[in-house]
Amino acid sequence: MKKIVVLTACALFFGFSSLRADEGMWMLPWLQKLNIKAMKAKGLKLSAQDIYNLNGNSLKDAVVLFGGGCTGEIVSANGLLLTNHHCGYGAIQRLSSVEHDYLQNGYWAMNRSEELPAAGMSVTFIRKIEDVSDRIFPYLSEEMSEEQRQKIIQERIRTIVSEALPEESTCEAMVREFFDGNQYLLFVTEKYPDIRFVGAPPSSIGKFGGDTDNWMWPRHTGDFSVFRVYADAQGRPAAYSPDNVPYQAPVHLTISLKGVKPGDYTMIIGFPGSTERYQTSYEIEQTYRVENPVRILVRGERQDKMMEDMLADPKIRLQYANKFAGSSNYWKNSIGMNRGIEKLNVLAGKRALEARFTEWVNADAARRAEYGEVLPTIEQIVRERTPGDRHLQYLNEALGRGVELIGLAAPWNDWIVQGADSVWKGPDESKLADLRRSAAGKYKDYSPSTDRKVTKRMVAILFDSLSVDERPAFLNEERERFGGDIDRMVDDWFDRSVFASQERYERMLEKPDYAALRNDPALCFYRSLQQLLKLPEAEKQRLKERSLRLTRAKRLFLKGLMEMQPEKTFYPDANLTMRLTYGQVLPYRPADGVIYDYYTTLSGVMAKEDPKNPYEFTVPDRLKELYRNRDFGPYAEAGDVRVNFLSNNDITGGNSGSPVMNARGELIGLAFDGNWEAMSGDIAFEPDLQRTIVVDIRYVLFIMDKFAGASHLLDEMTLVQ
């Protein structure tokens, strides 16, 4: 029997090993024209109109932009919403306290009155997508300067937006650029700002594996959280009010309990954030040699300091949980991207394409006239800008992101008038009253001791990495004043600054002292940084002209690529607008002699528990109990609960929380990650390796029902076998 099982598994893998990932993040209105035939061939049972219907309800009406950079899906008629745990992470952290730590312990509202307002959170529905290129391009000509072109484009966009909606509409309109300015689309959206937190598992489930497992397969993470959309009594968007009612969704996703197997059709609708698949080798090389190394160095050092304090103090762990997660995600992404650029010969592939493009251009006089200077222009501009970009990258990562003290002081700079006869122009009494009320919130997630420790390391990195002229003058002067002793220098700042202590800050608010503020080291640091970044008007104009030249060159390069490859169906780079990607459930082969299966199980969760690393690999006692008793309910398959599975859909950041649907449009999982071997996918798609990591919807339901006892939420959903 054992031999038969092994042979069957091998046969399954090799039967699908020739299938490759399906490249493309497609616009929904053009599925019928561009994609539906291929989607049907892979198994889709729906029509294009079932997915996107301009004049009626369709699947797209159940998918929302969650917050500012994730995706969510409506799963009940009463506005219940699923997204990833890491997408709800910030909202959950803001609602938490040391006494009520919903990140650490989880939370479940057992009735509507226990659903917690998630201040600052919103969801956005897409009501309409329309190509408006023909309302812009007739006003343009290639004889125009790029500055004239951009001015007319913005004028046309303002007109289109102003005409898009009736005055009484609760919707908003925006026009976005696609294909580097070769297409323009109008989006009509509707934003709902009253979002309530319904529930989430503890981080030991929702973030199981932490940074060690991030971007990795095999994965065992229950990456989900639950919210609800609220509206006024008429169903319209409204700010939070206790009188608001659950949003009555015209469409919600049906949930399948059937599970998946290799080759099953998968479809994802979501809001991918950013790809740059049409970048040149020159731009990719700058990312590889400058941007990513700086990010990796600075964030890695900052995170080490943060983690030391987070592990030592539960209060600091809660304060810095979201900051650490936001930093570490793209720190590890940058490491993986550079690894992928090397291992997958991305630069060589791009250079080969550029050589073909140059040959195609040179074969025709008209093409030489239009496209002959495109690649040389991009190469020259990238070479010119690289030193400045490196400089700004260090300042942004080490100071903008790294030193919180500067950010705390920054808003006060506008009220300081400098000079020998300076006068206090501070906030009026009304504004001071607002600042007093917000002081506690301002410092809720701030640890002065942690920021002090991080600042010492960030300043040391700047001294090691930047020249004297590249550093804020304040840093150079202070270093000389303290004889090069960075630790003593930073200690002096934190000991003296009113912004480094909530108590000192609140005392200052009671009686603002201009002289003290003007000489506060945090404000001095901020002013010095702003002075360093301030450019002469001539330099600003030069950079503006360079930017316009690059804009034109990139637009023409992509226009030329599409002209050179008329047989290829192009899709636009991701830009946080709604897209669809289709594919199949598939395992993969990451390296010679290594085969990764397409799913993981609860047994794997138990095997991964690591008492030596409790921050990332702790298994809750209740989950162990359910496992021991095999109390899996209707969510098991072959005697175990499947946790995560793989598909070959084309996703990126912003797709986190996206619904993964089967051939009938039923929800089978939530997309939450990509795989390590294809981390360069945002700039060069890897068809043999690209995978989406998905939390199986049955694991979501199992945790909600059996682990949390929140079966009342499942009662709202439409579940099908």
Q: How many residues comprise the chain?
A: 721
As given in the structure block, the two tokens for residue 567 are 């047989």
pTM for the structure as a whole? 0.94
Ramachandran class of 255: left when φ > 0, alpha when ψ lies in -120 to 50, beta otherwise = beta
Domains identified in the chain and CATH numbers: 2-122+193-277+573-720 (2.40.10.120), 126-191 (no CATH)
At residue 417, the pLDDT reads 55
- How large is the average pLDDT for residues 380-384? 98
At residue 11, the pLDDT reads 39
Measure the CA dihedral 114/116/122/126, to 10°. Answer: -10
d(CA 11, CA 3): 12
Cis peptide bond prior to 250, omega within 30° of 0: no
Going by DSSP bridges, is the β-strand pair 172-178/183-192 parallel, antiparallel, or unpaired?
Answer: antiparallel
Kindly report the three-state secondary structure assignment for every residue of 630-643. Answer: CCCHHHCECCECEE
- Tens digit of pLDDT for each residue in 116-132? 999 999 999 999 999 99
Going by DSSP bridges, is the β-strand pair 599-601/225-231 parallel, antiparallel, or unpaired?
Answer: unpaired
Measure Cα distances from 245 to 111, 119, 229, 445, 472 in Å: 13, 16, 9, 31, 52
Residue 109 has pLDDT above 50, yes or no: yes
At residue 415, the pLDDT reads 72
At residue 242, the pLDDT reads 97
Lowest average pLDDT, out of 15-24, 166-175, 666-675, goes to 15-24
Contact yes or no for 285/415 (Cβ under 8 A)? no
Burial class (CB in 10 A: 0-12, 13-18, 19+), 605: buried
Residue 5 has pLDDT above 50, yes or no: no
Higher confidence at residue 433 or residue 251? 251
- How large is the average pLDDT for residues 370-379? 98
Residue 458 has pLDDT above 70, yes or no: yes
- Tens digit of pLDDT for each residue in 508-536? 988 888 778 889 999 999 999 999 999 99
Specify the residue for token string 């397409």.
598
d(CA 194, CA 91): 13
For the stretch 213-237, what's the b/e string if a residue is b when 16 or more beta carbons lie within 10 angstroms of its beta carbon? bbbbbbbbbbbbbbbbbbbbeebeb
At residue 82, the pLDDT reads 98
At residue 19, the pLDDT reads 54
Beta strands (DSSP E) in 208-252 are: 225-231, 245-246
- Tens digit of pLDDT for each residue in 686-718? 999 999 999 999 999 999 999 999 999 999 999
% of the chain surpassing 70 pLDDT: 96
Q: Look at the alpha carbons of 355, 357, 362, 368 in this order and tell me if their dihedral is positive or negative.
A: negative
Contact yes or no for 85/209 (Cβ under 8 A)? no
Q: Look at the alpha carbons of 368, 374, 375, 380 in this order and tell me if their dihedral is positive or negative.
A: positive
d(CA 582, CA 262): 14
Which of 430, 683, 669, 474 lies closest to 574 in space, CA to CA? Answer: 683
β-strand partners of 227: 81, 197
- Tens digit of pLDDT for each residue in 585-634? 999 999 999 999 999 999 999 999 999 999 999 999 999 999 999 999 99
**H/E stretch holding 237:** none
At residue 20, the pLDDT reads 57
Please provide the average confidence, as pLDDT, over all residues in the chain: 94
Main-chain phi, psi angles of 483, to 5 degrees: 60, 30
As given in the structure block, the two tokens for residue 426 are 């501070």
Instruction: Give the single-character DSSP code of 629.
Output: T
CA 272, distance to chain mean position in Å, is: 8
Q: At what angle do helices 521-533 and 374-395 cross, to 10 degrees?
A: 170
Measure the CA dihedral 401/402/408/411, to 10°. Answer: -40
At 174 the three-state DSSP class reads strand
At residue 438, the pLDDT reads 84
Which of 634, 635, 646, 639 lies closest to 600 in space, CA to CA? Answer: 646
Where residue 425 falls among pLDDT bands split at 50, 70, 90?
low
Q: At what angle do helices 486-496 and 473-481 cross, to 10 degrees?
A: 110
Lowest average pLDDT, out of 19-33, 479-493, 648-662, goes to 19-33
Residue 543 has pLDDT above 90, yes or no: yes
Measure the CA dihedral 475/476/482/488, to 10°. Answer: 30
At residue 439, the pLDDT reads 85
Contact yes or no for 28/187 (Cβ under 8 A)? no
Contact yes or no for 395/299 (Cβ under 8 A)? no
- Tens digit of pLDDT for each residue in 402-423? 999 999 999 888 776 554 445 5
Cα Rg of the chain, angstroms: 27
DSSP letters along 570-586, please?
Answer: --PPP-SS-EEEEEEB-
Q: At what angle do helices 292-312 and 374-395 cross, to 10 degrees?
A: 30
Which of 611, 583, 599 lies closest to 699 in space, CA to CA? Answer: 599
Residues belonging to the active site: 86, 223, 656
**H/E stretch holding 270:** strand 265-270
d(CA 603, CA 597): 15
β-strand partners of 580: 26, 269
Measure the CA dihedral 59/65/69/70, to 10°. Answer: -50
Contact yes or no for 683/707 (Cβ under 8 A)? no
Type of residue at 618: T
